[in-house]
Amino acid sequence: MIKKKNYKFWFCTGSQDLYGDECLRNVAEHSKIIVEKLNASGILPYEIVWKPTLITNELIRKTFNEANLDEECAGVITWMHTFSPAKSWILGLQEYKKPLLHLHTQFNEEIPYDTIDMDFMNENQSAHGDREYGHIVSRMRIERKVVVGHYTDPVVINKIASWMVTAIGIIESSHIRVMRVADNMRNVAVTEGDKVEAQIKFGWEVDTYPVNEIAESVAAVSESDINALVDEYYDKYNILLEGRDEAEFRRHVAVQAGIEIGFERFLEEKNYQAIVTHFGDLGPLKQLPGLAIQRLMEKGYGFGAEGDWKVAAMVRLMKIMTENKKDAKGTSMLEDYTYNLVKGEEGILEAHMLEICPSIADGPISIKCNPLSMGDREDPARLVFTSKEGKGIAVSLIDLGNRFRLIINDVNCKKVKKPMPKLPVATAFWTPEPDMYVGAEAWILAGGAHHTAFSYDLTAEQIGDWAAACGIEAVYIDKDTKIRDFKRDLMLGEVFYR
């Protein structure tokens, strides 16, 4: 199981000593109240930590460097209560390496019409101070989020909460290690990519191990450990024998239990959080990892099929980003498989040969054993289910030869019209925004893959901001997409990202 980290965000208030000690006391008092209210809102997925008011170049620089070094700090929220001359911020900002939020708020919600005087104006001038500060951040071309509004407004707090998720993605991206126990599928283009550049841009470490080594770890799993896990499967899932011999079925399921335990031990021992497999490169493994991989994905591991390490890393990234989400609906690798093109019922049936994460399941989950036309191993056991309804995002990271592009599509997940009793795999079904035709046309023009990293629990903005922080192009396919504008966006991207 993958361990959680106790991330926090720092709240740094800017000011100066021009208006005297009493003003500075109020600034500190006000910022403490803001932090308390934000933490008490129940909306934020991570705690905010108050920091003493920043008024000098030295303290600003020191605080940002402390934030860099603090392993629990996932980002800094800045706010200028009064005027804070922005040249004071240059060195600190220059040396700061973590996500930055500029909260453009003020302590009072309403102008105090009856009592307002120049002292009040000088003490409460975020409108003024935040512009000076914003200018220097823009001039220094630092990627940051700006959130505007009163700190008690749930809309504002939700925007901070949303940014926190992006920040966790940025911080955690450089802790993703992908284990490849197979190379890319022969002749396939879109799943290939530059692993060195991925490490430079995203911090991902992508390494290969011979499949035989992980297979040895599977072979070393004891019979009693396997039996205990099979019992757990039989408790948790429906068993769909479909005419197969009960003992033979259980033996097939036991193979997957051995793979789950052996793979997880090997991944933990070597410190990897994502894995890719390939049906054509299984060494001594008796079955293509199906149920085993589905369970590992549910535990938080990233996965990519046919050697697709980019999808494996993206699935892991999106699982970490959504880890603290209340009532999460799920995140999985998926594959665009087949269409329904009946007018008014258009959509894409999403599946894979086996490996869909049960976190996206709706209703009962069953185990089936069926032959696999690919590869040359025995019939693998797999979890079969249909997926939840609702909005989600499908994401594809592609390598354009000289750079990466992230394609993000808002999709609406639905139920298919009728059950599909002969289909022995888990499925989802969605209609891309803005509709099937424009959505698929834009996806293909952008060069998006057939494999996607999918989540119900993230927004296009959150994952797009992650891409921006990594310095890569993100293109959005959503309700506003028009093909002519979209093609122009792609052309602008070609000019801007080199």
Tokens of 35: 């932090």
CB closer to Mn ion, 296 vs 305: 305
- What is d(CA 198, CA 202) in angstroms, rounded to the nearest whole number? 5
CB closer to Mn ion, 355 vs 410: 355
Please state the closest distance from residue 280 (CB atom) to Mn ion, in A: 12
Please state the closest distance from residue 368 (CB atom) to Mn ion, in A: 19
Please state the closest distance from residue 337 (CB atom) to Mn ion, in A: 9
Q: Which residue's structure tokens are 């990202």?
A: 497
Site residue total, Mn ion (CB under 5 A): 3
Give Cα separations from 272 to 114, 295, 379 (angstroms): 62, 16, 28
Site for Mn ion in 28-87 (CB under 5 A): none
CB closer to Mn ion, 335 vs 457: 335
Please state the closest distance from residue 355 (CB atom) to Mn ion, in A: 9
Segment lying near Mn ion (by CB under 5 A), choices 119-127, 300-308, 318-326, 433-441: 300-308
CB 60 within 8 A of CB 89: yes
Q: Which residue's structure tokens are 């757990």?
A: 232
**Quick one: which of 376, 386, 377, 328 has its CA closest to 356?**
386
CB 349 within 8 A of CB 340: yes
Segment lying near Mn ion (by CB under 5 A), choices 84-92, 298-306, 395-403, 476-484: 298-306
- Nearest position to Mn ion, beta carbon: 305
CB closer to Mn ion, 306 vs 457: 306
Q: What is the 3-state secondary structure (H, E, C) of the chain?
A: CCCCCCCEEEEEEECCCCCHHHHHHHHHHHHHHHHHHHHHCCCCCCEEEECCCECCHHHHHHHHHHHHHCCCEEEEEEEECCCCCHHHHHHHHHHCCCCEEEEECCCCCCCCCCCCCHHHHHHCCHHHHHHHHHHHHHHCCCCCEEEECCCCCHHHHHHHHHHHHHHHHHHHHCCCEEEECCCCCCCCCCCCCCHHHHHHHHCCEEEECCHHHHHHHHHCCCHHHHHHHHHHHHHHCEECCCCCCHHHHHHHHHHHHHHHHHHHHHHHHHCCCEEECCCCCCCCCCCCCCHHHHHHHHCCCEEECCCCHHHHHHHHHHHHHCCCCCCCCCEEEEEEEEEECCCCCCEEEEECCCCCCHHHEEEEEEEEECCCCCCCCCCCEEEEEEECCEEEEEEEEEECCCCEEEEEEEEEECCCCCCCCCCCCCEEEEEECCCHHHHHHHHHHHCCCCEEEEECCCCHHHHHHHHHHHCCEEEEECCCCCHHHHHHHHHHHHHHCC
Please state the closest distance from residue 186 (CB atom) to Mn ion, in A: 13
CB closer to Mn ion, 306 vs 473: 306
CB closer to Mn ion, 104 vs 278: 278
CB closer to Mn ion, 355 vs 465: 355
Site for Mn ion in 380-409 (CB under 5 A): none
Segment lying near Mn ion (by CB under 5 A), choices 295-303, 305-313, 394-402, 416-424: 305-313
Give the CA angle between residues 436, 439, 444 to the nearest 5°: 120
- What is d(CA 147, CA 300) in angstroms, rounded to the nearest whole number? 30
Segment lying near Mn ion (by CB under 5 A), choices 115-123, 188-196, 303-311, 400-408: 303-311
Segment lying near Mn ion (by CB under 5 A), choices 55-63, 207-215, 306-314, 408-416: 306-314
CB closer to Mn ion, 350 vs 473: 350
Q: What's the first-to-final CA gap in the chain, in angstroms?
A: 39
- What is d(CA 126, CA 380) in angstroms, rounded to the nearest whole number? 62
CB closer to Mn ion, 170 vs 305: 305
Please state the closest distance from residue 306 (CB atom) to Mn ion, in A: 5
Please state the closest distance from residue 304 (CB atom) to Mn ion, in A: 9
CB closer to Mn ion, 264 vs 306: 306
Please state the closest distance from residue 259 (CB atom) to Mn ion, in A: 18
CB closer to Mn ion, 162 vs 184: 184
Please state the closest distance from residue 236 (CB atom) to Mn ion, in A: 26
Residue span 226-265 as binding mask against Mn ion, x where in contact by CB under 5 A, dash where not: ----------------------------------------
Segment lying near Mn ion (by CB under 5 A), choices 47-55, 107-115, 301-309, 407-415: 301-309
Please state the closest distance from residue 450 (CB atom) to Mn ion, in A: 7
CB closer to Mn ion, 99 vs 307: 307
Figure out which of the listed residues 48, 255, 305, 334 binds Mn ion, where binding follows CB under 5 A. Answer: 305
Residue span 316-335 as binding mask against Mn ion, x where in contact by CB under 5 A, dash where not: -------------------x
Residue span 330-369 as binding mask against Mn ion, x where in contact by CB under 5 A, dash where not: -----x----------------------------------
Segment lying near Mn ion (by CB under 5 A), choices 54-62, 73-81, 229-237, 304-312: 304-312
Please state the closest distance from residue 467 (CB atom) to Mn ion, in A: 23
Please state the closest distance from residue 352 (CB atom) to Mn ion, in A: 6
Please state the closest distance from residue 353 (CB atom) to Mn ion, in A: 7
Interacting residue ranges for Mn ion, rule: CB under 5 A: 305-306, 335
